[in-house]
Amino acid sequence: MAPEQTEAVKDQSAALRIWQRLPAVAAFVLLACQAALPWTAPHFVTGDGPSHLYGATIARELIFHHRHSVYAAIYTIQRAILPNWTATFVLAATEAIAGTDHAEALFASLAVVTGFFGLSYMKHALAPHESPWTPVSNFLLQSWFLWIGFYNFYLGMILVPFLIGYYLRHAGKVTGSRTAMLSAGLTLLFFTHMIALAIALTAMGTVAVWRGVLVPAVKKRQLPGMSAWREPAWVVVAAVPALILTGIYMYTHNGTGGNVPAGAVRALFLAFPQQVFQTGAGMWGKQDLLWKLVSGYILAACVLMRREEWGGARGGIVVAAGLCFLGYLFIPDEGFGGSAVIVRFAWGVFILGGVAALNVARLRVITVPFALCVAALLAANVAATARAARILSHAVDSYLATARALPEGSTVVRLFYPAPAAPERYGYSDAARFPFMHLDALVASEKHALDITDYEPLTRLFPVVQKKAFAGEESQLWGFEGPDPDAVTTLQWLGNVFPRRIEFVLLFGEEQSGAAQKAGMPTMAAWLSSKMQLLATSSDGLLRLYGRR
């Protein structure tokens, strides 16, 4: 070969290597932007996040400062077997590192980074000779669940790829230590979130039966022998502790799945995947183009997969994604103490199907262009998400400035009436979030105050609960998240029976709106003005702080 031809081949080879590495470069650039997103606004505002932070604050106080904690008289840590523990420990750690105001932001950054490496690990387990880094992983993590504050579920779903990847790497090489490792991971997943555990077991169980039993039986055209069940048996043995814990939890909580309403399946099919990937407003915030592009790629991969790909672990993962889709369609939306169940399975479809679709042989020619297209669309979403974060932060400025007038260690009740004009006023009407709902819990965490109307300790689904002696007030306290016209009577009764004197009341809502008037807000405001002193009103008029005279 002539020297000129040799140089041309080298240049072509170098250009090809650069081209093939572009998805990895884009993935890490996007990861840095995603990790920085929670820090781009003064306040990282989520829906349920402040309540989870409040629970973590109480748990840390009860464990390390029990005798001197203001929380010890009212709250205790459950000894019952239940999920939703992991986020409590992680938030307690991030609060100790970054402080109360930035604990959620640090939590979100760590979760996104961990999830990226979890998805990459699973992808590498499926395709060991291919690069594990892809912007598709970044897209799968850019989920509504993080921004709404469903922290335990988000943590569970970023642990799922680690467990599936570990199983795929070691299936067929069963040892006692590997079984113990997988079992420990599944047990941790139970203590994080049950739906994440269900998705992980669905994926591993499906791959085990598909690859070890069904496919060989079809090839040999005979019933499988005992040896074919070795891999499924390994999954079952590893899952035993998590399954026992799940059974105990379901029995003690009398959980039932309810029913799927007639006609709901068609509506759910048309609404798929609902708001799973909405992190901001508008087309880019909803990621409409992006989730449709990835969905099309997954469907194309299912059609174009070769027989040997269908017969291996990749085919089993695709089947598991299909089972998650059936779960989305047919599982009731509430049950076992939880709500918004089906939309969680919709995310599972993308997690499993998205990773399985990558590196399909017949789609390899478009792998790099597809990844770069995903990166470009996700960059637009990151910008829209950052804009939404700033808007939500601005919306809560006035609320926090007023609520932070609470003294340290005080006892407060929050009354949350409708504020229908607030979304349009602040510009977050299309963001699928309402930022004011649990901000009282954030302030209570900062002030080490007793926020006795925060929902998390009242549900008995999280580690921290009110003591049994005061359990009779739980339903009334929780009712203050949407008070009715009899709320004044309930508040008077509560003041007489609750063991701590109610010193402050946070009254939120638009008193002049029809919805707030129908709920009795004017009556409540008049009663509070007659019994307590108005200490502060937010600049937008949405929040009033009352204190005892």
Q: What is the 3-state secondary structure (H, E, C) of 340-394?
A: CCHHHHHHHHHHHHHHHHCCCHHHHHHHHHHHHHHHHHHHHHHHHHHHHHHHHHH
pLDDT at 262: 61
> What is the average pLDDT across 50-58?
95
- What is the tens place of the pLDDT at every residue in 354-393? 999 998 999 999 999 999 999 999 999 999 999 999 999 9
Grade residue 546 by pLDDT with cuts at 50, 70 and 90.
Answer: very high
Instruction: Please tell me the distance from the alpha carbon of residue 484 to that of residue 490, in angstroms, as a whole number.
Output: 10
- What is the tens place of the pLDDT at every residue in 168-191? 999 878 788 999 999 999 999 999
Name the residue with tokens 């590498």.
124
Name the residue with tokens 């000894």.
79
Higher per-residue pLDDT: 225 or 312: 312
- What is the tens place of the pLDDT at every residue in 270-317? 999 999 999 998 899 999 999 999 999 999 999 999 999 999 999 999
Given a cut of 50, whether residue 157 has pLDDT beyond it is: yes
Instruction: Please tell me the distance from the alpha carbon of residue 278 to that of residue 196, in angstroms, as a whole number.
Output: 20
Q: Which of 183-192, 247-256, 494-503 has the highest mean pLDDT?
A: 183-192
Lowest mean pLDDT of 10-24, 72-86, 390-404, name the range: 10-24
> What is the average pLDDT across 526-549?
93
- What is the tens place of the pLDDT at every residue in 416-436? 999 999 999 998 888 888 899
pLDDT at 256: 53
> What is the average pLDDT across 83-100?
95
Given a cut of 50, whether residue 507 has pLDDT beyond it is: yes
Instruction: Please tell me the distance from the alpha carbon of residue 123 to that of residue 252, in angstroms, as a whole number.
Output: 38
Grade residue 228 by pLDDT with cuts at 50, 70 and 90.
Answer: confident
Name the residue with tokens 């993590």.
141
pLDDT at 9: 46
Higher per-residue pLDDT: 79 or 381: 381
Instruction: Please tell me the distance from the alpha carbon of residue 155 to that of residue 443, in angstroms, as a whole number.
Output: 24
Given a cut of 80, whether residue 215 has pLDDT beyond it is: no
Given a cut of 90, whether residue 220 has pLDDT beyond it is: no
> What is the average pLDDT across 39-64?
93
Given a cut of 70, whether residue 131 has pLDDT beyond it is: yes
Enter the DSSP assignment of 472.
G
Grade residue 5 by pLDDT with cuts at 50, 70 and 90.
Answer: low
Name the residue with tokens 């009663």.
527
> What is the average pLDDT across 507-533?
94
pLDDT at 459: 85
Grade residue 68 by pLDDT with cuts at 50, 70 and 90.
Answer: confident
Q: Tell me the pLDDT of the chain averaged across its residues.
A: 90
Instruction: Please tell me the distance from the alpha carbon of residue 21 to that of residue 522, in angstroms, as a whole number.
Output: 63
Question: Do 285 and 279 touch, CB atoms closer than 8 A?
Answer: yes
Given a cut of 50, whether residue 83 has pLDDT beyond it is: yes
Given a cut of 60, whether residue 337 has pLDDT beyond it is: no
Percent of the chain with pLDDT over 90: 69
Given a cut of 50, whether residue 515 has pLDDT beyond it is: yes
Higher per-residue pLDDT: 516 or 231: 516
> What is the average pLDDT across 238-263?
80
pLDDT at 229: 83
Lowest mean pLDDT of 35-49, 88-102, 212-226, 228-242, name the range: 212-226
pLDDT at 3: 58
> What is the average pLDDT across 136-162?
96
pLDDT at 458: 87
Grade residue 108 by pLDDT with cuts at 50, 70 and 90.
Answer: very high
Q: CA torsion sign, 203 to 207 to 213 to 215?
A: positive
Percent of the chain with pLDDT over 70: 93
pLDDT at 336: 56
Given a cut of 50, whether residue 242 has pLDDT beyond it is: yes
Give the C-alpha distances (Å, rounded to integers) separating 255 from 82, 156, 432, 455, 461: 12, 20, 28, 19, 12
